[in-house]
Amino acid sequence: MSEKALIFGHKNPDTDSICSVLAYEALKKQLGENVEARRLGNLNKETEFVLNYFDVEAPKLLATVDPNAEGAENTERQKVILIDHNERIQSVDGLETAQITEVIDHHKFGEFSTFEPLMIRAEPVGCSSTILLTIYKENDLLPEKKMAGMMLSAIISDTLLFKSPTCTPRDVKAAEELAKIAGVDLEKYGMDMLIAGASFGDKSTKEIINMDMKEFEMGANKIAIAQVNTVNVAEILDQKEQYESTIQEQIESEGYDLFVFIITDILRSGSETIVLGKATDVFESAFDTKLDNNTAWLEGAVSRKKQFVPNLMEVSK
């Protein structure tokens, strides 16, 4: 088995899944461990802004860890460290062939099993980087400037600058501390970063829907939940029909029972949703709402992890 462990976040990586991976790589290397940060997909606009701002290189793309798969880099069983996820469906292709040595996560656990003992660090905080700052300190270390910038950005992203219900006092404290090390004004940098991430530029509807899309198996249903943050919900709704046909295509090609597209308004703290599939009744009872022309505005709902997923799980039992 290769001695090097690859560290990565989930597919369709968000800022946490890139930046926490880089920060954990830096810490592990400081501790003399043989690791390499990788990513399981393209960078989104927000993460591009962050890496650019702090002049940090993106991790290399990783296609598979199955040594027998086409395009495999490894010839032996691969050691892996999962950050910001634990569900197989969100992880690297070929994960079942790999040895998971560590998991650092702040999400719910799905069905999770391994062949060997491992280190699991799961805490119900707003961001993986908040856990990482604790681990740095347990090792009597602090991240250097650029890595503090990475971790700060991950926290701002995951907590929507502390507006998300997933945000805990520990996240706020960690962000304040990291902003000092990174040498940025927290509020100003945070808003600039979120707005940079909320601009869709010339992306197609399909690219926008898939920027941050996760799959879940809930009861008998295969559910896709995509989320975008914006300061201009109307910009998306103006092309509602185009979004609907793109979603419908994905439902057919991937066999989803339900597709929830969440358009989160970061200034109004709520989300417009476009919901399609044969199990829309699951969504309606999860949120005690009636879809009007496939859409519903959900006041105060901004978190996939703490609001959308648990509500849908609850009615999928």
Site for Mn ion, rule CB under 5 A? 16, 84, 128, 158
How is residue 75 written in tokens?
């010839």
Q: Which is nearer to Mn ion, 21 or 236 (CB)?
A: 21
Taking the complex as a whole, the smallest distance from the CB of residue 178 to Mn ion amounts, in Å, to 15
Determine the Cα–Cα distance for residues 72 and 92; give it in Å rounded to an integer: 12
> Mapping DSSP to helix (H, G, I), strand (E, B) and coil, where does residue 34 land?
coil
Strands (E), 21-124: 35-39, 60-61, 79-83, 99-105, 119-122
Q: Which is nearer to Mn ion, 146 or 214 (CB)?
A: 214
Determine the Cα–Cα distance for residues 18 and 212; give it in Å rounded to an integer: 13
Taking the complex as a whole, the smallest distance from the CB of residue 15 to Mn ion amounts, in Å, to 8
Taking the complex as a whole, the smallest distance from the CB of residue 9 to Mn ion amounts, in Å, to 8
> Mapping DSSP to helix (H, G, I), strand (E, B) and coil, where does residue 227 land?
strand
> Mapping DSSP to helix (H, G, I), strand (E, B) and coil, where does residue 75 land?
coil
Tell me if 49 sits within 8 A of 197, measured CB to CB: yes
| Exposure b/e, 303-313, CB count within 10 A at least 16 = b | bbbbbbbebbe
Taking the complex as a whole, the smallest distance from the CB of residue 302 to Mn ion amounts, in Å, to 14
Determine the Cα–Cα distance for residues 80 and 88; give it in Å rounded to an integer: 13
Taking the complex as a whole, the smallest distance from the CB of residue 16 to Mn ion amounts, in Å, to 3
Residue 93 per-residue DSSP state = B
Taking the complex as a whole, the smallest distance from the CB of residue 127 to Mn ion amounts, in Å, to 5
Q: Which is nearer to Mn ion, 128 or 273 (CB)?
A: 128
3-state helix, strand, coil in the chain (%, to 5): 40, 20, 40
Taking the complex as a whole, the smallest distance from the CB of residue 253 to Mn ion amounts, in Å, to 27
Q: Which is nearer to Mn ion, 22 or 274 (CB)?
A: 22
Bridge partners (DSSP) listed for residue 61: 39
Q: Which is nearer to Mn ion, 79 or 306 (CB)?
A: 306
Q: Which is nearer to Mn ion, 90 or 271 (CB)?
A: 90
Q: Which is nearer to Mn ion, 85 or 146 (CB)?
A: 85
Nearest position to Mn ion, beta carbon: 16
